[in-house]
Amino acid sequence: MAQSNPVKAFHVCRVIPMPNSPNSAAQTSLPLTFFDVLWLRFPPTQRLFFYECPYPKETLTDIILPKLKHSLSVTLQHYLPLAGNLTWPPDSGKPIIQYNEGDAVSLTVAESAANFSILSGNSFREAETIHHFLPFLLASKTGVPVLALQVTLFPNAGFSIGYAAHHAVFDGKSIAMFMHSWAFVCRCGGDSTLIPELTPTYDRTIVKDPSDLENAYLNDVLAFDGSNEKSLEFWDLKAPAEVMLGTFHLTQANVESIKKWVEAKWKEKHTKKAAFSPSTFAITSAYTWVCLVKTRKLMTEKVHLGIAVDCRARLEPPIPSSYFGNCVTARFIDADTNKVMEEDGVAIAARAIGEAIGGLDDGVLKGAEELMPNFSSRQGVGLFSVAGSPRFEFYKTDFGWGRPSKVEMVSISKSGAFYLSDPKDGNGGVEIGVVLKKHETEAFASVFASGLECHQVQKS
By annotation, the residues acting in catalysis are 167, 398
Give residue 362's pLDDT: 86
Note the CATH architecture for domain 243-454: 2-Layer Sandwich (3.30)
* Whether 124 contacts 436, CB under 8 Å: yes
Q: In this structure, what DSSP letter does residue 321 have?
A: T
Which residue blocks in 76-199 are alpha helix, DSSP H?
116-119, 127-130, 172-187
State how far the Cα of 164 lies from the Cα of 146, in Å rounded to an integer. 8
Q: In this structure, what DSSP letter does residue 424 have?
A: T
Which has the closest alpha carbon to 235: 220, 246, 245? 220
CA–CA–CA angle 84, 86, 92 (5° rounding): 125
Which has the closest alpha carbon to 248: 456, 390, 433? 433
10 Å CB burial of residue 161 (0-12, 13-18, 19+) is buried
Q: Determine the residue type at 57.
A: K
Q: Determine the residue type at 256.
A: E
Instruction: Please check whether the two domains, 7-224 and 243-454, share a CATH topology.
Output: yes
Instruction: Name 332's bridge partners.
Output: 306
Give residue 2's pLDDT: 47
* Whether 175 contacts 148, CB under 8 Å: no
Phi, psi of 12 (to 5 degrees): -125, 125
Instruction: Name 151's bridge partners.
Output: 109, 161
State how far the Cα of 343 lies from the Cα of 454, in Å rounded to an integer. 9
Which has the closest alpha carbon to 165: 83, 284, 262? 83
Spell out the domain ranges in the chain. 7-224, 243-454
Note the CATH architecture for domain 7-224: 2-Layer Sandwich (3.30)
Q: For residue 319, how many other CB atoms are within 10 A of its CB?
A: 18
Rg (CA), the chain: 22
Which has the closest alpha carbon to 78: 31, 24, 32? 24
Give residue 151's pLDDT: 98
Give residue 136's pLDDT: 93
Which has the closest alpha carbon to 381: 440, 447, 442, 308? 440
pLDDT per residue as tens, the chain (460 positions)? 445 678 999 999 999 998 855 555 666 899 999 999 999 999 999 999 999 999 999 999 999 999 999 999 999 999 999 999 999 998 898 999 999 999 999 999 999 999 999 999 999 999 999 999 999 999 999 999 999 999 999 999 999 999 999 999 999 999 999 999 999 999 998 666 899 999 999 999 999 999 999 999 999 999 887 778 899 999 887 667 789 999 999 999 999 999 999 998 888 876 666 677 899 999 999 999 999 999 999 989 999 999 999 999 999 999 999 999 999 999 999 999 999 999 999 999 999 999 999 999 889 999 999 998 998 889 888 999 999 999 999 999 999 999 999 999 999 998 999 999 999 988 889 999 999 999 999 999 999 999 998 877 544 3
